[in-house]
Amino acid sequence: MAIMLDRPTSETLADLRNEIDRIDARMHEILMERGEIIDRLIAVKARAGSGSAFRPGREADMMRRLVSRHKGILPLDTVESIWRIIISTFTFVQAAYSVHADVSGGDAPMRDCCRFHFGFTVPFVPHAGIGSVIDAVAASQGDLGLIPVEAGAAAGPWWTRLAEPAAPKIIARLPFVERHDHPAGMPLFVIAKPLTEGAARDVVLYVVSLETWEDALLLRLSGLGAEIIGKAADGCGLSLLISAPGTLAAAELALALEQPLTEIGSHAARFDFSRTPDTGAGA
């Protein structure tokens, strides 16, 4: 049972403002304390020779806990963005990076999504196509790329560019908290150079090439909990981008497709806030 604190019945506006000032100062102190720990973490990683600063699996766990415990009048959108910016900025402090984004479908929505999830400290680099984003990430030391999940047909089978072992891979899908009125709700894939550890594997993505289309494919995939999220013509016929549960063995999926497949990344399962009980959170 929650313990309710006795509140003075005679509190004034000045009393409440003093409380707010105290909380604000404490929040700032805690952020600086977090920064000091990150500084120590950088030193530990340097001694251990640790790899990428990105930990999509850990970030997803943090966001799930955040959303699950949130309540009160503060909109969840605000809390989500604050925590995303804290995570992204402290990751930037560990190892500077930029975010490359395909703005061929419009600069404003992509920029809004980038700023919501990464803040203003991390540099935003616009590109006029998905191929340019992939090239920039591949040539970087550790940058990220943002690709619209619902890229138009003109983009072609861009996912085939991620098939080579050393090519960038999908490491996340945004927004993580899924809701119909999300202020930065454009569905995006996040790509990065291949991670050696820390990946989230609730959902795994594969590339499959077909000579001809078969309607029966949809039924076979559905039976396995998989789906086609991208389809485009390539030089040999059709190229498919398939999303499958991380618990599904690649060999079982290949058997159902009767075709070899190539993994091009993975991401955490999104948190569907619309299915959670009403906690008083939200706009």
pLDDT at 238: 87
Dihedral Cα 97, 98, 100, 106, nearest 10 deg = 150
pLDDT at 41: 83
pLDDT at 8: 63
pLDDT at 6: 59
Work out the average pLDDT over 186-199: 92
The average confidence (pLDDT) of the chain is: 88
- Percent of the chain at pLDDT > 90 equals 61
Would the pLDDT of 281 be above 70?
no
pLDDT at 260: 92
Confidence of residue 21 (pLDDT cuts 50, 70, 90): very high
Task: For residues 194 and 135, give the distance between their C-alpha atoms in angstroms, rounded to a whole number.
Answer: 14
Would the pLDDT of 276 be above 70?
no
Task: For residues 269 and 267, give the distance between their C-alpha atoms in angstroms, rounded to a whole number.
Answer: 7
100-135 per-position pLDDT tens digit:
999 998 899 999 999 999 999 999 999 999 999 999
Task: For residues 201 and 245, give the distance between their C-alpha atoms in angstroms, rounded to a whole number.
Answer: 8
217-267 per-position pLDDT tens digit:
888 999 999 999 998 887 778 899 999 999 999 999 999 888 899 999 999
Would the pLDDT of 139 be above 60?
yes
Would the pLDDT of 280 be above 50?
no
From the centroid of its chain, how far is CA 81? Answer: 12
Residues with Cβ < 8 Å from 34, sequence gap 6 or more? Answer: 86, 90
pLDDT at 3: 47
Q: Which residue has the higher pLDDT, 232 or 171?
A: 171
Rounded to 5 degrees, what are φ and ψ at 129?
170, 160
Identity of the highest mean pLDDT range in 49-58, 119-128, 274-283: 119-128
54-107 per-position pLDDT tens digit:
889 989 999 999 988 999 999 989 999 999 999 999 999 988 999 999 999 889
Query: What pTM was computed for the model?
Result: 0.87
Other Cβ atoms closer than 10 A to 256: 18
pLDDT at 49: 58
pLDDT at 50: 58
pLDDT at 51: 57
Q: Is 164 helix (H, G, I), strand (E, B) or coil?
A: coil
Residues with Cβ < 8 Å from 28, sequence gap 6 or more? Answer: none
